[in-house]
Structure formats: structure tokens, C-alpha cells
Chains A and B, each alone.
Chain A
Amino acid sequence: ILNVEQSPQSLHVQEGDSTNFTCSFPSSNFYALHWYRWETAKSPEALFVMTLNGDEKKKGRISATLNTKEGYSYLYIKGSQPEDSATYLCALRSGNTPLVFGKGTRLSVIA
């Protein structure tokens, strides 16, 4: 059974702070790593799909890096805003399996 770990479980930051969180996964048989943002009462929204070791992706103030050899990905948010408050999920595709999700990091940005 694939185990995708996310840390921290929850995070409170002040508006304007930059923050980051971690997704760890087994590096064997790696295929792709996905990041999603899930706001309350909405559908999870895709942020990034990453496939190559050393990949870096950016979308506005959010960016992500990937290390497939050591099995981790970091998500960074620069200058957090209240609208960034959400649960951030990472998910691993290994071989031909469906996405396996971590439990998420719940971010609260305080104005």
C-alpha cells in the first residue's frame, strides 16, 4: 500500500507571510505527483502535475518542487493571503495505479 505523507497537518500564518509544506512518498515506481487545493464547499482544484526529478512549477504566488530520488515535494506560497486558506493535497501516481492522496495540510491565513 502506497503511503503519502504530508506535513504539517495544519498551519496558521499571518497575511503576508511566506510558507511551505511537504509531501513525502515512496520513490520506487514513481510516475507523477499532483498538488490540489481544496477550499471548503468547493471541489478540489488542480494546481500542478509534476513528473520529472528536479521539476519546478509556478502559478502566481504558489510554486512547487519535486525530488523523485529522495521522495519528496515542497509547495511554497509567497506572501500568503486570506484567500489562500484551504487544504492542500498532494497525490501520487505510481505505475498505473489511481492517485493516492495524502491527508492534506490545512492552511489558515489570518488577516
Chain B
Amino acid sequence: GAGVSQSPSNKVTEKGKDVELRCDPISGHTALYWYRQRLGQGLEFLIYFQGNSAPDKSGLPSDRFSAERTGESVSTLTIQRTQQEDSAVYLCASSPKTGVNTIYFGEGSWLTVV
């Protein structure tokens, strides 16, 4: 597709379950980012991938969070043993490379942990 695609668009899960969120970046974009926004908060950086470099994981809030990226393609964000505070919209974004380039967002995956 032309834009960043995320799935699922909505997910309700029980506390303690694992969830996987998927992101398909724009074709050819080497940089991929995950952000999240919890209620009343700003967009919070989680992790970013740049080509074949080691990912910057500095924003991951705990070891329950992990992400992988296959080459310069699909990325999966996994949250293990979900907690209610994980409820948020998880946004994926991609850009041709880092630097001043605009980053292009998907519509997000809205996660509710009950």
C-alpha cells in the first residue's frame, strides 16, 4: 500500500495475556519507529530501527516489551503479560532515513487491557 499499515486497528485483551502488533512501513523506508500515546500523555518514543544497525531500544518501558524487524520490511511489537497501564494507541512510523526527513505514521493500533 501507499502508506504505513498497522494491524490490528483495535485490540481488547485480558490482563496477563501477550499481544502482538504489526507494522508494514512504506516500501523503501529504511527507518521505522514505534511510539505510543496513553490517555492524557504525549507521544512516547519506544524503539526505532535504521537499516541493519542495532535498534535503539532506549524507550521501551520494561522488559515485557520487545520488537523485531525483518530486514527493511515488517515490524512486530510484542507486549508480554499485559498490564492495564499498557492501554494506549501504538503508532508505527517510517521514513526514508533518519535526519530531518518527515516521518509518516500509520493509523495506530488501539490497545485496551481489561
Q: Which residues of A does B touch, CB under 8 Å?
A: 4, 31-32, 34, 36, 41-46, 49, 51, 89, 91, 93, 96, 98-104
Q: With contacts A98-B56, A99-B103, A101-B35 known, is A44 near B91, CB below 8 A?
A: yes
Query: Shortest Cβ distance from B67 into chain A, in angstroms?
Result: 13
B45 near A43: Cβ-Cβ < 8 Å:
no
Is there a chain A Cβ closer than 8 Å to B28's Cβ?
no
Is there a chain A Cβ closer than 8 Å to B52's Cβ?
no
Is there a chain A Cβ closer than 8 Å to B108's Cβ?
yes
Q: With contacts A43-B3, A98-B56 known, is A51 near B100, CB below 8 A?
A: yes
Residues of B within 8 A of A98 (CB): 33, 45, 48, 56, 59, 98
> Complex Cα distance A103/B44, Å?
9
A101 near B42: Cβ-Cβ < 8 Å:
yes
Closest to B103 in A: A99
A43 near B105: Cβ-Cβ < 8 Å:
yes
Residues of A within 8 A of B3 (CB): 43
> Complex Cα distance A91/B106, Å?
17
A100 near B100: Cβ-Cβ < 8 Å:
no
Secondary structure call for the B interface? loop
Is there a chain A Cβ closer than 8 Å to B84's Cβ?
no
9 example contacts (A-B, Cβ-Cβ < 8 A) are as follows A4-B42, A36-B105, A41-B107, A43-B105, A43-B108, A45-B105, A49-B100, A89-B42, A101-B45
A96 near B98: Cβ-Cβ < 8 Å:
yes
Is there a chain A Cβ closer than 8 Å to B21's Cβ?
no
Residues of B within 8 A of A42 (CB): 107
B102 touches which of A4, A34, A43 (Cβ 8 Å): A34
B45 touches which of A32, A36, A99 (Cβ 8 Å): A99
> Complex Cα distance A42/B104, Å?
12
Is there a chain A Cβ closer than 8 Å to B41's Cβ?
yes
A103 touches which of B4, B42, B102 (Cβ 8 Å): B42
> Complex Cα distance A99/B94, Å?
12
